[in-house]
Amino acid sequence: MRLFIALDLPDEPLAALSAVMDRLPGDIRRVPEENLHLTLAFLGETSQEMTQAAHEGLDTIRAPHFDLTLNGATVYGGRHGQAVALEAEGEAPLHELHDRIRARLRGAGLQLERRRFRPHVTLARLPGRADPGPALAALCAVTIPPFPVHSFSLVQSTLHDNGPLYDTLARYPLG
């Protein structure tokens, strides 16, 4: 199973993000509203046994809920495809939650990529060689009011030709 850990976004910011995405140029591949999330950790291909171990570790996390702010638009990636995203402001509780999740996953025996955590919500994808300028220009004045986040999830991603299908396997509340 291909897995990742997502911070769940409440309905209000999801609706605001959907409205924002209407401003994107027509030829860009938008992320469907139900797929919008902030990735806290990417596990990649994971066995049944490790999935269970990961779930048991995540289930012991007791962390507070917090407010999240989404800021300026940015582009990640390169030749193999680009993601147009809004960056999340790096409040301490978000980074603490990220660190705790990684610690629990490592404790469960998972090997995680060593990438710097750059929290973001991907809104759309572009081919590697496309000019991201018009998408960034469309998003430059976007402001999403800060919103509370109350849970994170273990998500299975199944890749299809027309985009990934996400299934939430377990949800973990933030206190």
List of residues contacting ligand 2AM (CB under 6 A): 4, 39, 42, 76, 83, 122, 157
CA distance 151 to 65: 7
The least distance separating ligand 2AM from the CB of residue 25, rounded to whole angstroms, comes to 19
Q: Shortest gap between Cβ of 123 and ligand 2AM (angstroms)?
A: 9
| DSSP per-residue codes, 90-138 | --HHHHHHHHHHHHHHHHTT----------EEEEEEE-TTS--HHHHHH
For tokens 């495809």, the residue is 81
Q: Give the span between the Cα atoms of 2 and 22, in whole angstroms.
A: 30
- Residue closer to ligand 2AM (CB basis): 61 or 83: 83
Cβ 64 to ligand 2AM shortest distance, Å: 24
Based on CB atoms, which residue is closest to ligand 2AM, 49 or 113? 113
Report, in Å, the least distance between residue 175 CB and ligand 2AM: 25
Supply the DSSP symbol for 23: T
Identity of the residue, 63 or 83, whose beta carbon is nearer to ligand 2AM in the bound complex: 83
Nearer Cβ to ligand 2AM (86/142): 86
How many CB atoms neighbour CB 24 within 10 A? Answer: 19
